Amino acid sequence: MGKKLIIPNKDITLKIREWVCPECKTEYDREINAAINIKKFALQDQNLIFI
């Protein structure tokens, strides 16, 4: 995966589920990203990983 998207894109709304970073061309999927974040939060909450 490319570098992390840090450019705020005001055109991305909740209706848009997938998009490509114009800078690094990385493809993003809102559902996959949400699942990754939930997993990280759960593991952090149980002290199984440190981020």
CA angle 12, 26, 4 (to 5 degrees): 80
Residue 2, in any domain of the structure:
no
Residue 49, in any domain of the structure:
yes
User: What are the pLDDT digits (tens) for 1-51?
Assistant: 445 555 566 777 778 888 888 888 888 898 998 899 898 888 887 777 665
Residue 9, in any domain of the structure:
no
Q: How high is the pLDDT of residue 1?
A: 45
Look-up of token digits 């149980």 = 46
User: By residue range, what is the domain housing residue 38?
Assistant: 19-51
Q: How high is the pLDDT of residue 2?
A: 47
Residue 13, in any domain of the structure:
no
Residue 26, in any domain of the structure:
yes
Residue 31, in any domain of the structure:
yes
What's the number of domains the chain is made of? 1
For residue 45, count CB atoms less than 10 angstroms from its CB and return exposed for 0-12, middle for 13-18, buried for 19 or more: exposed
Residue 4, in any domain of the structure:
no
Q: How high is the pLDDT of residue 32?
A: 92
